[in-house]
Chain A
């Protein structure tokens, strides 16, 4: 009986989960790039008039709302390779632990952030430092990563209160799946000043199309 009960519970929960599946796809109209496409794709953080963004542009699309906090979250990584952060822009859910492995040959790094969402200073560390220096990002917001040794290095971590987010490809296309049904606001983060949003009505099993045109 207890076994049957357990089974039922699992079944119900799995069914419920399956029922709730919804997906959104579309395109975020990205800012025009000023520079010609590069041979080797390499993103960098740029500041224009005090606004931080990525060049070539990328956007993060996420479903805003309050969701139950999961028991455990996967650990993410922002590596340092060739004197740059990889990836340049990392969206994470609040509470995510991010490791900062140094993948250079023999260059020290000192990753720190003065951003209000997360202030930390990892100190200097070598490649292959064990354990890999890491931080847990528990406040939503935009965190600028810097290296105290290499002043030009910039990285962004977008800490979100939702588990449903995705980074667009460089043409702005995205696809979010496994979303719960209900009324939500779908947001597209473009740069530190620009976040576009659209109200979405998600139905179980549905796949809707949402575009984020550039606001005139």
Chain B
């Protein structure tokens, strides 16, 4: 809030300062453009005058007067030529004739630059003697010169006339032989705009001609001008000025740069009082509006914050609860994980610890069986015990694999596996075994059914399924193996004509150490289906019991098909 207020205040201050600078710049620019316009008009005037004087000087009579030592005839000769330039009080004419303004007076300067006194001053514009002396230019300039002449200084009729000195060049020798000085009423400048505010005049030779200003104000401006011009000369500049306690802006610009006549300056005084008052008013308005805006914003933000904060508070409480719950769950998970680790480690350790004594046991029994003097009954007993050691090894192997799977140590290296061939091989092995059940085996497999998997685990799955189909069959029963590719999966179903799995057992058949109701009669340890399903799932597939009714029990396994490119590598192995 404090920052916003501070920034607003700073912004306002800067805006005000900027506005002030803009005002000054605008005024300065207007002043400059007005002066530029004036200079352009003056240039046109000079051009017209120069042309006029060129023509005048080319007049044989003027030439004759100047060149043939007949200066007394100069003014009479010029009178006719300059008649239309001179202002005629008795017979007012349009202000300008062909771009040349009416002159108030004119004089000739001789070869040395001294004034040639007119024989009849009334005809060429009356001037006081001190005014006339200001017109002389020694030496004669070679180009047109602009100057200003104060007339009737200090009197009620005080005016400033603009004077232009035009060199007269001999048409034959190109020497400057004389000059014509013409005086005009200066062009009005800046009067059209802000006449009530902006006051303009001319500063000439330490004399300020600005009748609109009071005497005291004129003195101040006069002093300021003298002070500014005492320094290094500048063509144009502006400054701030205090006149009777009120701030003013002062612009001035030299009217006749590089002239041989005394320097004259256009001076403009612009009172800043009303501008500052206006600006101050504007500043207060902006400040008021800003404060109001700030207040409204504050209230609005307060309301919005309140509405926004309610759900946030609720969220905070919820998240606290969630955090507590999560911590509890995490703790439970950690302990479960620990238990799992422990049990996994235990089964792995157990398996390893068990494997050695079983091997020792088997070796001992085999040693006993090799004895020749054994009774037949003892031999049978020992043979049964020997067979049990294999069963124990199988259980231990399965447990070992399962514990490794539980610990996440089993990683499938996916390669194409030819399922058809695996089944054919297994069936070949089956045929080689003694078959007391006399089972009928049917296969319905595409020639090459390739899945993506690791062969040793895939064959373990098949072995378990097919072994179960054989083990749990009835004598003279059937085994039916079919394979198909469907919807981007490879399905393999293994059916057998064994007795049905009781309905209450069905949900548990894939659990460890679960066995069918008639399992007691059949060799097995209740780990096969669980192992098979875990392995299939590791392959990204699934193993399900499809059906089990009175005559037919069918399992279905699905695998991902091998990538087509991979079949070649598989074929090589």
Contact = CB atoms under 8 A, between A and B. Distances in A.
Interface in B164-186: 170-173, 175
Contact of B172 (A46, A112, A148): A46
Contacts of A115: 68-70
Contact of B173 (A50, A116, A119): A50
| Chain B: interface size category | 10 to 19
Interface string A161-204: 00000000000000000000000000000000000000000000
A128 to B, nearest CB: 23
Interface in A23-47: 46-47
Given A119-B70, A148-B60, A151-B58, A114 B65 contact: yes
A113 B60 CA distance: 10
Given A47-B170, A48-B173, A49-B173, A147 B60 contact: yes
Contact of B67 (A47, A48, A148): A47
B172 A47 contact: yes
B151 interface: no
Contact of B64 (A46, A49, A144, A150): A144
Given A49-B173, A144-B64, A116 B59 contact: no
B73 interface: yes
Contacts of A146: 60, 63-64
Contacts of B171: 151
A144 B59 contact: no
Interface in B56-85: 58-61, 63-65, 67-70, 73
Of B60, B63, B172, B175, most buried by chain A (CB within 10 Å of CB) is B60
Interface in A99-117: 112-116
Contacts of A151: 58-60, 63, 171
Contacts of B175: 49-50
B170 A116 contact: no
Contacts of B68: 113-116, 144
A178 B61 CA distance: 41
A49 B172 CA distance: 10
A147 B63 CA distance: 11
B222 to A, nearest CB: 47
A148 B61 CA distance: 7
Contacts of B59: 148, 151
Contacts of B73: 114, 119
A116 B63 contact: no
Contacts of B65: 114
B304 to A, nearest CB: 93
Interface in B443-470: none
B69 to A, nearest CB: 6
Given A47-B172, A47-B173, A116 B61 contact: no
Interface in A48-63: 48-50
Contacts of A148: 59-61
Dominant secondary structure of chain A at its interface with chain B: strand
A144 B69 CA distance: 11
A47 B68 CA distance: 11
Nearest to A149: B60
A112 B61 contact: yes
Interface in A120-155: 144, 146-148, 150-151
A59 B547 CA distance: 155
Q: In this complex, which of B59, B65, B70, B170 has the most chain A Cβ atoms within 10 angstroms of its Cβ?
A: B70
Given A46-B172, A47-B173, A48-B173, A116 B69 contact: yes
Contacts of B69: 115-116
A116 B63 CA distance: 14
A163 to B, nearest CB: 27
A115 B64 CA distance: 8
A47 B172 CA distance: 7
A21 to B, nearest CB: 39
A115 B58 CA distance: 18
Contacts of B170: 47
Nearest to B59: A151
A49 B177 CA distance: 11
A50 B65 CA distance: 13
A85 B73 CA distance: 24
A148 B175 CA distance: 21
A112 B64 contact: yes
Contacts of A147: 60
B187 to A, nearest CB: 33
A201 to B, nearest CB: 36
A115 B73 CA distance: 10
A114 B64 contact: yes
Interface centre among A47, A113, A114, A148 (most CB of B within 10 A): A114
Contacts of A116: 68-70
A48 B173 CA distance: 7
Nearest to B77: A114
Contacts of A113: 64, 68
Which of B63, B64, B171 has the most CB atoms of chain A within a 10 A radius of its CB?
B64
B498 to A, nearest CB: 146
Nearest to A151: B60
A146 B63 CA distance: 10
Given A47-B67, A119-B70, A144-B68, A114 B173 contact: no
Nearest to B71: A114
Nearest to A152: B171
A150 B64 CA distance: 13
Contacts of B63: 146, 151
Nearest to B171: A151
Contacts of B172: 46-47
Contacts of A114: 61, 64-65, 68, 70, 73
A144 B67 CA distance: 10
A116 B173 CA distance: 22
Contacts of A119: 70, 73
A136 B70 CA distance: 20
Given A115-B68, A115-B70, 10 more contacts: A47-B170, A48-B173, A49-B175, A112-B61, A114-B70, A114-B73, A116-B70, A144-B64, A146-B64, A148-B59
Give the 4 A-B residue pairs with the shortest CB-CB distance, closest first. Answer: A114-B70, A114-B64, A114-B68, A47-B172
14 contacts: A47-B170, A47-B172, A49-B173, A50-B173, A116-B68, A116-B69, A119-B73, A144-B68, A146-B60, A148-B60, A150-B60, A151-B58, A151-B59, A151-B60
